[in-house]
Structure 1
């Protein structure tokens, strides 16, 4: 797939439209500021180190740096690396350990804060985690030996587990306390942990779909998580901009604004990573690994630039994130 180099005339034009505000950067997506329609994917940044000194001295990035600045570029590089890293066994093990740590901590915190509210029961905590771990173990063996039926079973287990973890994050936003405020605003750090875990689990499940050459299913899995995150952000935005609800929150002296901001950032980052990965899969930039060393492979790129997105009818594409 051809890439519009940042240093080419067309690439510099795109950068100038970003600088003018006509286009905006959201993760590795470049979209129209008004309609939010995705126009390009920034490609090649996943090969760069997230090091300010390196990026500052990398001449090909000059037009993009002038358009968005080093701070946002560092964030884009981080998103690119997360959206387009081939899923290996080592990464899976690391992600599973992080998911378990996050969910365990979340359950313990909820028990202390909400002893009478059954938000996340012991069974709901352990079941998705155990299912995800066993599914990944089975998938590794099945993938190495080319056992498709066993890999399908493992994929179905991982898919279910990812959806369950995602639903728990949504539950924190849906369930309200006696003031009519979502419990997520009482324990925003736990919301951030759950959504990060849901994002990681979705990543793993989508990779197993790719290992089976089920690209449409991988995209659908990622779109589902994107849709959940968008709903959560919309619900929390409505609450946080409602004067009456905010007066109730202040009256209860929750004093966790910093954690709420951090949770908002976690939601935004997960949204950008899942949406970026979905778009890369759609464009054929991430596919199954025929050598079965990993579940997927990322198409190599020699330049940093923009990949134009082919128009696809999709309601989520025009929704502001």
Structure 2
């Protein structure tokens, strides 16, 4: 779960932890920070919903603009459903909420694929004014087709993102969405989406405002790159992120041989398995046109039992 850390900012707001009951400190104004709620299952006796109740009693929830849900106990034993139900029930108490992130755990708390999620569709329906929504953890994650008029940023971080979630997203209507990031992951941890599942997202037209697309952390990064190379949606993008995955010369060759990418402001391929020659070709093809290219973290396959093994940056 390298490179996955607690959020320090959400929706332009610094993240502030609402701490244990014995922590005595002046509290910021409700709307000045993104509030993080979490409990340590091994160090604290307070349950997550008890902390949540103290939070809404101490802070005027009507002023809260950002909310980060962290560890809710032993996350690999209990899922996020109780938290989802409470937030849905209390939606009327958070009229100013514009950003919500569910599952802000780092490796010391749980591997990314140990985070037990649930059906998060009710949150998106209960908060029609949300502009930013993020999730970490793909195990148990459910998403149904939905329409949301205000959502501008949507992120799913996973060691394995279920194909059903990708398909539901491709069938959804998000007219304001500008930033979309999906960590597709590996099949061993539930990342069973294929390039075909991405087709509705790549066809263009579903999200007319989209300017950034991230299809990251995938064991089928070459197939993803090949699909992106001919995808109509690319013409409307300002930036493209295919980083953290198992990208080889095959996928990069497809990108270079596909539609022009010279209109992009930046292309992120970091953590890749490209050869030196291909890395140079990508830079030479795009950088003279003003495209910022990130081809850092060149990885080398592991050799084991006579085979080469390549790995995503985040999997377990």
TM-score by length of 2: 0.27
Of structures 1 and 2, the one scoring higher in RCO (CA 8 A, sep 6+) is 1
TM-score by length of 1: 0.26
Which has the larger strand fraction?
Answer: 2
